[in-house]
């Protein structure tokens, strides 16, 4: 019989020796007010996985596990004032470090799969940004417009596993390309972005560093055709081009490939740009189609994790809550991949939330969540009851 809860078993996936090294690195237990870094992490993961809406809910929810705190690795439950204090004052760099440490650790234990493009052996990265609205009266540091507050979450997903390998939170006015220039990608990888990332200077940097890119062309792009290729099916145009506007030509003087593609399902036309001239046009269209996965990721994390409402109002607290959301979604996606049962992420989040403190084997439950007791024939029931 298992004597620890599902939540405790999930926490055991985080290697404590590596966690302790990060605590030492960032000196995050100084001025801790009695709440050490591990207790802080447990509380914030409970916020996301348990669906707590406030520091009061976190404190009361963990208090309800009286007698089982040691299984979580903590010896006291933080009160709401202490949790508010440490969210405001503990460095969010600790939680950023925990996320990337855990990503490396779990990736070493399990090879995350990809849902499509299985014939393409290259690493694929999807980059985009999403606005997180905030109440300007409460989050006065997050001014976006005259009467609106917001921050922008910039993310790069590894297509294998659809997990973030780059995350940065900026003010909502920051343009995507400004943050993109801080990103780096392995040589030979494929970078997929939308039109918001069209900056021919940055695309030239990708090309010069040995990376391939796929994006959509802007409607007023000036160019001249160098060579046209035969097309079939949904491919309307496939051609090599040179940019002709003085600025674009100076920034990107090499050949680009332009593909005009008809989505037969919706009837919409798309114009793609890439620096790869060997793939067939359908492959380029298929690669860009997978960019939608990052939109799905943003929807998942906003729906299932607590990043649309925050338990603290300082910028520090918001950063900690977003980084712990990333840690929570990493744990959940790892469990989803390991399970034999075909979970949808939404169902997995809901069922774990309902059974968070149930004492049952984590992997046994994940593999067989709907336990069906063996039915005893009626005659056998009578024999058992009356001997």
378: in domain? no
Query: What's the pLDDT score for residue 11?
Result: 96
Mean pLDDT value across residues 358-380: 78
Mean pLDDT of 161-171: 93
Whether residues 259 and 317 fall in one domain: no
Are 11 and 94 part of one and the same domain? yes
Q: Say whether both 39 and 97 belong to one domain.
A: yes
In a domain, 283, yes or no: no
User: Quick one: pLDDT at residue 385?
Assistant: 56
Of 32-41, 76-85, 129-138, 375-384, the least confident: 375-384
pLDDT of residue 376: 60
The model's pLDDT over 19-58, given as tens digits with 9 standing for 90+, comes to: 999 999 999 998 777 789 999 999 999 999 999 999 999 9
Going from the C-alpha of 375 to that of each of 115, 268, 360, 368, 380, the distances in angstroms are 38, 55, 22, 17, 10
In a domain, 29, yes or no: yes
Question: Does residue 56 form part of some domain?
Answer: yes
Whether 10 and 100 share a structural domain = yes
140 pLDDT higher than 70 = yes
Give 94-111 as a DSSP string. HHHHHHHHHHHHHHHHS-
The predicted pLDDT at position 377 comes to: 65
Q: Can you give the pLDDT at residue 114?
A: 86
Q: Please answer whether residues 363 and 338 qualify as being in contact, where contact means their C-beta atoms are separated by less than 8 angstroms.
A: yes
pLDDT value of position 116: 86
C-alpha span between 320 and 102 (Å, rounded): 16
Q: Give mean pLDDT, residues 196-207.
A: 96
Co-location of 333 and 264 in the same domain: no
Domain span at 55: 6-104+312-367
For residues 366 and 141, the model is more confident at 366
> Last residue of a domain, which of 261, 277, 293?
277
DSSP string, 174-198: S-HHHHHTT----TT-EEE--GGG-
Question: For the range 134-139, what are the long-range contacts, defined as Cβ-Cβ under 8 Å and sequence gap of 24 or more?
Answer: 134/310, 134/318, 138/313, 139/310, 139/313, 139/318
pLDDT score of 372:
64
Residues 270, 332 share a domain: no
In a domain, 19, yes or no: yes
Q: Is 268 part of a structural domain of the chain?
A: yes
Q: What is the pLDDT of residue 308?
A: 86
Question: pLDDT confidence of 3, banded at 50, 70, 90?
Answer: confident
pLDDT one-digit tens code per residue, 71-95? 898 988 899 999 999 999 999 999 9
Q: Is the pLDDT of residue 382 over 60?
A: no
Backbone angles phi, psi at 386, to 5 degrees: -105, 0
Average pLDDT over residues 241-251: 95
The pLDDT > 90 percentage for the chain reads: 74
Confidence band for 65, pLDDT divided at 50, 70 and 90: confident
Number of domains into which the chain is organized: 2
The answer as to whether 109 is a domain residue is no
d(CA 170, CA 315): 10
Q: What percent of the chain has pLDDT over 70?
A: 95
In a domain, 166, yes or no: no
Q: Which of 277, 297, 322 is the last residue of a domain?
A: 277
Rounded alpha-carbon distances, angstroms, from residue 47 to 28, 156, 174, 309, 330? 20, 24, 29, 11, 15
Q: What is the pLDDT of residue 297?
A: 95
pLDDT at 215 over 80: yes
Residue 261 belongs to domain with CATH number: 2.20.25
């Amino acid at each position: 019989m298992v004597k620890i809860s599902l939540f405790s078993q999930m926490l055991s996936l985080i290697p404590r020796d590596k966690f302790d090294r990060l605590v030492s690195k960032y000196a995050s237990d100084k001025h801790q007010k009695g709440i050490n870094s591990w207790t802080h992490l447990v509380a914030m993961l409970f916020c996301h996985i348990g669906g707590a809406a406030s520091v009061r809910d976190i404190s009361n929810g963990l208090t309800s596990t009286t007698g089982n705190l040691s299984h979580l690795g903590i010896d006291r439950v933080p009160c709401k004032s202490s949790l508010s204090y440490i969210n405001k004052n503990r460095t969010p760099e600790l939680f950023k470090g925990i996320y990337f440490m855990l990503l490396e650790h779990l990736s070493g234990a399990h090879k995350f799969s990809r849902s499509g493009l299985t014939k393409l052996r290259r690493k694929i990265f999807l980059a985009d940004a999403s606005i997180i609205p905030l109440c300007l009266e409460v989050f006065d540091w997050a001014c976006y417009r005259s009467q609106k507050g917001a921050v922008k979450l910039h993310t790069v997903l590894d297509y294998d596993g659809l997990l973030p390998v780059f995350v940065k939170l900026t003010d909502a006015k920051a343009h995507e390309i400004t943050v993109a220039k801080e990103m780096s990608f392995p040589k030979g990888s494929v970078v997929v972005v939308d039109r918001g990332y069209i900056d021919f200077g940055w695309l030239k940097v990708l090309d010069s560093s040995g990376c391939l890119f796929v994006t959509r062309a802007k409607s007023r792009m000036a160019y001249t055709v160098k060579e046209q290729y035969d097309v079939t099916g949904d491919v309307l145009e496939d051609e090599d081009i040179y940019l002709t506007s003085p600025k674009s030509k100076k920034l990107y003087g090499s050949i680009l490939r332009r593909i005009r593609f008809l989505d037969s399902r919706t009837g919409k036309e798309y114009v793609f740009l890439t620096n790869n001239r060997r793939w067939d046009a359908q492959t380029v269209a298929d690669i860009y189609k997978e960019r939608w996965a990052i939109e799905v990721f943003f929807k998942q994390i906003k729906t299932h994790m607590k990043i649309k409402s925050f338990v603290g109002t300082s910028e520090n607290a918001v950063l900690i809550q977003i980084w712990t959301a990333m840690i929570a979604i990493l744990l959940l996606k790892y469990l989803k991949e390991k399970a034999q049962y075909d979970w949808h992420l939404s169902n997995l989040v809901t069922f774990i939330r309902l059974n968070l403190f149930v004492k049952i084997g984590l992997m046994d439950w994940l593999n067989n969540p709907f336990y069906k007791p063996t039915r005893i024939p009626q005659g056998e029931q009578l024999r058992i009851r009356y001997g």
